[in-house]
Amino acid sequence: MNFKVDNKGYYGQFGGAYIPEILYGTVEALRNAYDGILNDASFKAEFADLMKNYVGRPSPLYHAKRLSEKYGTQIYLKREDLNHTGAHKINNSIGQVLIAKRMGKTRIIAETGAGQHGVATATACALMGLQCIVYMGETDVKRQHLNVQKMQMLGAEVIPVQSGNKTLKDATNEAIRDWCCNPADTFYVIGSTVGPHPYPDMVGRLQSIISEEMKWQLQEQVGRDYPDYLIACVGGGSNAAGTYFHYWDNPKVKIISAEAAGLGVDTGESAATIHLGTEGIIHGARTLLMQDADGQIIEPYSISAGLDYPGIGPIHAHSAVSGRAKVHAITDDEALAAAFELTRLEGIIPAIESAHALAVLPKETFLPNDVVVLTVSGRGDKDMETYVRKFEEFNK
Ligand SMILES: *Cc1c(COP(=O)(O)O)cnc(C)c1O
């Protein structure tokens, strides 16, 4: 099993770059440039400085004692919720905007669903003085008004998308359309380990700062640089890819991913791509996706806007199909219960996406001395309306 991208952009049978002819030159230019930039000493120094002094890294690795006691094991939380803008997404946005600048691009475009990636990218653009345009489905614009206002305050132009279901998939299509029309000056900042090669690899490497820190934090706290278990939630798969990056090849580390089951895998209201998906092409990559017999995308559903995507990053399709990762489908109610539990046991209100990873804990059996590292991908501020609505039901 190999979890490094091959020279054609594949992880096993998944990945590649299925793009319209008109974008070939643009994607090829990025493919030729990104590896050199990521390995360049001055890029690394600039990225490291911003991660430390702007984002606030390293994010803590916190031994959650009351949660550990509850599950009879040793649980450590990787606190991406404490980053500037409240989630792991800022690592990627800052990295890609730095790459865009080095490629001489002056105009940044992005897609966003809940608005988290849009806010992170608008933040990076304000920081670096670049023009920012964010495509967002009209339905999401209405649902996530606070994030729209944040993006506008940061100086970004938010363009509501009227096609399809008016959600993330439609915003992505519109961003790709823009990119096709403006290939010379425009850089498309994709928010997860999805899209055509080299995006999944580029995003995974920018997020790999998560497991890079874990290695020395574990060495310091438990005396070895690897855990027995890694647990993360998977939407497109960027926080998970960053969490697993330095551990794919270590067979001692068991990898568990949580995807969103919505109301349940078999209810027709789900976003459990690995459980329900079949092989196909979405947004430029061959991967597992939720589609009908005619290859039309089935609209996903999850309580969590960040996990509500009909595809999945090719590295995670490969890790699931090859058996490297075990994947749990977590329902809305299981995630809500886990969010309230973490809040009461540890005083941490997690993002509803991260709560899907926490909901894995009661589904697995751990030994008392197992070291279980779980990534809390973001904080729950954005989900307070949902939590308040469900408070009575889950706190009887
Ligand atoms: C966007 C988001 C996710 C899902 O995206 P991935 O690319 O799968 O990490 C998870 N958690 C939070 C807090 C998010 O904002």
Q: How far is the CA of 240 from the centre of ligand 1 (A)?
A: 9
> Which has the minimum average pLDDT: 148-162, 260-274, 380-394?
380-394
pLDDT in tens, 164-179: 888 888 999 999 999 9
* pLDDT of 328: 98
The pair of structure tokens assigned to 190 is: 């994709």
Provide the mean pLDDT of the chain.
96
Instruction: Select which of 59, 68, 78, 89 is catalytic.
Output: 89
Tokens of 220: 């310091």
Q: CATH classification of 25-50+89-203, choosing from 1.10.10.1400, 3.90.1150.10, 3.40.50.620, 3.40.50.1100?
A: 3.40.50.1100
Identity of residue 224? R
Any ligand 1 atom below 6 A from CB of 378 = yes
Tokens of 8: 């054609």
Q: Which amino acid is at 58?
A: P
Percentage of the chain modeled with pLDDT above 90: 93
Alpha helices in the chain (DSSP H): 24-39, 41-50, 65-71, 89-102, 116-128, 138-143, 145-153, 168-181, 199-207, 209-222, 238-244, 273-276, 314-321, 332-346, 352-358, 384-394
Is residue 377 annotated as part of the catalytic site, yes or no? Answer: yes
- Nearest atom in ligand 1 to the alpha carbon of residue 81 is 13
Number of H helices, E strands in the chain: 16, 14
**If you ran DSSP here, which 8-state letter would residue 163 be given?**
S
Q: What is the mean pLDDT of residues 175-191?
A: 95
Could you tell which of 79, 238, 259, 383 is best to mutate to test the pocket of ligand 1, judged by most ligand atoms within 8 Å of the CB? Answer: 238
Question: Which one from 304, 377, 382, 390 is the annotated catalytic residue?
Answer: 377
> Which pLDDT band, with edges at 50, 70 and 90, does 108 fall under?
very high
- 396 pLDDT above the threshold of 80: no
pLDDT tier, 80 (very low <50, low <70, confident <90, very high otherwise): very high
Closest by alpha carbon to 256, among 276, 233, 239, 237?
A: 233
Strands 186-189 and 229-233: unpaired
Domain spans in the chain, listed from the N-terminal domain onward = 25-50+89-203, 57-86+209-394
Q: From the alpha carbon of 242, which atom of ligand 1 is closest? A: 9
116 lines ligand 1 (CB under 6 A): yes
Strands, DSSP E only, in the chain? 10-11, 14-15, 61-63, 74-79, 107-112, 131-137, 157-161, 186-189, 229-233, 254-262, 278-282, 285-289, 325-331, 371-376
Specify the pLDDT at position 1.
Answer: 83
Q: How far does the centroid of ligand 1 lie from the alpha carbon of residue 215, in Å?
A: 22
Rounded Cα gap, residues 396 and 385, in angstroms: 18
Band of pLDDT at residue 114, cut at 50, 70 and 90? confident
pLDDT tens for each residue of 1-45 = 899 999 999 999 999 999 999 999 999 999 999 999 999 999 999
Question: Which residues, at least 6 apart from 177, have a Cβ–Cβ distance to it below 8 Å?
Answer: none
- Of 147, 114, 134, 113, the closest CA to residue 178 belongs to 134
Residue 238, pLDDT above cutoff 80: yes
CA 116–ligand 1 middle distance (angstroms): 8
For ligand 1, is residue 353 a contact (CB within 6 Å)? yes
- Residue pLDDT, tens place only, 347-379: 999 999 999 999 999 999 999 999 999 999 999
Which of the following CATH numbers is that of domain 57-86+209-394: 1.10.10.60, 3.90.1150.10, 3.40.50.1100, 3.40.1410.10? 3.40.50.1100
Q: How far is Cα 100 from Cα 110, in angstroms, rounded to an integer?
A: 13
Residue 231's pLDDT band, with cuts at 50, 70 and 90, is: very high
Is any ligand 1 atom within 6 A of the Cβ of residue 190?
Answer: no
- Residue 343: pLDDT above 90? yes
Cβ–ligand 1 distance for 239 under 6 Å, the answer: yes
> Is any ligand 1 atom within 6 A of the Cβ of residue 86?
no
User: Which residue in 150, 86, 97 sits closest to 121, CA to CA?
Assistant: 97
- What is the full DSSP assignment across 135-186? EEEHHHHHHTHHHHHHHHHTTPEEEEE-STTSSHHHHHHHHHHHHHH-TTTE
Q: For ligand 1, say whether the CB of 234 is within 6 Å of any of its atoms.
A: yes
pLDDT digits (tens, 9 = 90+) for 54-75: 999 999 999 999 999 999 999 9
Split at pLDDT 50, 70, 90, the class of 203 is very high
On the question of pLDDT at 254 being above 80, the answer is: yes
CA nearest to 236, candidates 267, 203, 211, 269? 203
Q: Do domains 25-50+89-203 and 57-86+209-394 have the same CATH topology?
A: yes
Given this model, what pLDDT does residue 143 score?
82
